[in-house]
Amino acid sequence: MNAPYPTRSFDAATSPLRVLIIGGGIGGLALAQGLRREGVSAAVYERDTSLTSRLQGYRVHISPGGSRALHECLPPHLFDAFDRTCGKPGRAIHFLTERMRPLLSIAADMVTNDDAIARHRSVSRITLRQVLMAELAELHLGKAFARYEERGDKVVAHFEDGTSAEGDILVAADGAGSRVRRQFLPDAPLIDTGVVAIGGKVFLDEHRAQLAPKLLDGMCLVAGRDGVCLFVAMQEVNDVAGPIGANEADSVQSGAVFENTRSYVMWGVGAKRARLGMDADEHDPARLAAIATHAVAGWAPGFRTLVALADPSTLSQFAIRTSTVVGPWPTGRVTLLGDAIHAMTPYRGIGANMALEDAVRLKRAIVAGARRERDLFAAVAAYESEMRDYGFRAAGNSLRAMRQSVDAGALSLTAQRLMFRAIDRLPPVKRWMASRMGRD
Ligand SMILES: Cc1cc2nc3c(=O)[nH]c(=O)nc-3n(C[C@H](O)[C@H](O)[C@H](O)COP(=O)(O)OP(=O)(O)OC[C@H]3O[C@@H](n4cnc5c(N)ncnc54)[C@H](O)[C@@H]3O)c2cc1C
């Protein structure tokens, strides 16, 4: 039987492989670092003009799998810088009612392990991007991808500024709104779930004493009876490693949004648009504060205080979107990773970890092809097949987790609470639950 891609095979003997990566987010940069480490030529084209061009989000949970992927992609000194600059580990994960009554508490030592590499971490997104961008010679900022074309044995990326770049493989790492995916897989639309999250940071140097102790313990999750859910996480600054973990030069002008050196508690309030009374996207901090305050108006005072204390300049909103499952496509010179193919709701906190998993697997496939250990396109096809499997499974699980949080219905929420209370009294089940955290 003929291979499905014989005419497209790449001859590593006659020319060195060149990889074009569209998007310098978590997945694209990790792939670039991994390829660089293996001596494969790769260039990243990122739309942002600087690290502070737009809000990167707050903190991100890195799972043991994500940590392993970073360890394989980064040179040892950068992995060390990443490790040192992660937030101090929290003490527990609490599932609470909107009255702040405990349902289930999982102590950190049930979740963490002694593995120096593969463990749970909490990292500032700004710091993570500093780590991932460090020492990349071919990182082109201010390059907004417009379209690609296949030209003979090459693929050409065209940018909005009229320039172009040629390579052997083009990787879509341009996030949920991927333009590459829109051209490559036009029948794979992104779905707006109708749920919106508003997030903010409360700086601990100013407000630690005003916050309920439970909220300073690590992570708290609340699915309220009123269709509103709340996520709370500590990001306690640990260390800096030179420029990694420090503020960017222009972040002083940018205000607290890009402040990267102060410890904080972040919160995210999520609900359906109608429940929040938001017909359209809202970016005015005063309006966002009013909407979030109103959403938790009937909740325990500790939650209301938390929401009220957010620094206004750190408030932002996210429309929660998810991907649709796409069947196999013929493998060629364009491939995808991360949110560009399997965007998911943030309700399981695994999207970045899936992007890292993709990056390390795609890196291995490309390196095997570049070294002629395997046919390049056969290796990429195997990556794509596995990635579709775990990536869309993770997207489906994340969608279910969102629905359980904001759309459960009274009966199902009561059942969920009874189950949490029961698990809280059953340490072996708790340990099993803890072992599933951060996995797809
Ligand atoms: C509120 C929130 C909290 C989250 N928390 C977690 C968490 O704790 N743990 C976790 O694992 N995941 C979390 N996620 C999900 C996670 O952020 C994403 O899954 C992850 O960032 C995806 O990585 P990526 O590299 O695929 O895309 P991104 O990180 O989104 O990177 C895409 C990059 O492409 C660039 N780009 C876009 N268009 C173009 C273009 N036309 N040309 C050039 N460049 C372009 C963008 O500027 C961006 O830099 C969270 C998401 C949200 C919204």
Instruction: Examine the pLDDT at 7 and tell me if it is beyond 70.
Output: no
pTM over 0.75: yes
Relative to beta strand 154-159, strand 229-235 is unpaired
**In this predicted structure, which of 136-140, 210-214, 251-255, 413-417 has the lowest mean pLDDT?**
251-255
What is the pLDDT confidence band of residue 295, given thresholds at 50, 70 and 90? very high
**Which DSSP symbol is given to 249?**
T
Residues ≥6 apart with Cβ < 8 Å to 57? 125, 199
Q: Mind listing the pLDDT tens digit for each residue in 125-159?
A: 889 999 999 999 999 999 999 999 999 999 999 99
Q: Hey, whose CA ends up nearest to atom 53 of ligand 1?
A: 346
Compute, in angstroms, the gap from residue 178 CA to the centroid of ligand 1.
11
pLDDT at 193 over 90: yes
**Is 234's pLDDT higher than 80?**
yes
- Does pLDDT of 96 surpass 70? yes
**Does residue 338 line the site of ligand 1, with CB under 6 A?**
yes
Pairing of strands 229-235, 264-272: antiparallel
Q: Give me ligand 1 centre to Cα 421, in Å.
A: 34
pLDDT of residue 56: 57
What's the CA-to-centroid distance between 352 and ligand 1, angstroms? 7
Give 416 Cα–ligand 1 centroid separation in angstroms: 30
Token pair in block for residue 143: 């390059």
- Inform me whether the pLDDT recorded for 255 exceeds 80: no
Q: Are strands 218-223 and 92-96 parallel, antiparallel or unpaired?
A: parallel
> Nearest residue CA, atom 51 of ligand 1?
346
pLDDT on residue 432? 86
Choice between 271 and 2, residue whose per-residue pLDDT is larger: 271
Q: Cα torsion for 168, 174, 179, 185, to the nearest 10°?
A: 70
Ligand 1 mean position to 413 CA, how many Å?
30
Is 198 touching ligand 1 by the criterion CB < 6 Å?
no
Q: How far apart are CA 334 and CA 180, in angstroms?
A: 9
Please state whether beta strands 169-172 and 121-124 pair in parallel, antiparallel, or not at all (unpaired): unpaired
Quick check: CB of 182 below 6 Å from ligand 1?
A: no
Q: In what order do the strands lie in the sheet with 316-323?
A: 102-107, 92-96, 218-223, 229-235, 264-272, 190-203, 316-323
Mutate to test the pocket of ligand 1, among 93, 315, 339, 344 (most ligand atoms within 8 A of CB): 339
User: CA 23, CA 41: separation in Å to the nearest integer?
Assistant: 16
| Segment among 43-57, 183-197, 218-232, 286-300 with least mean pLDDT | 43-57
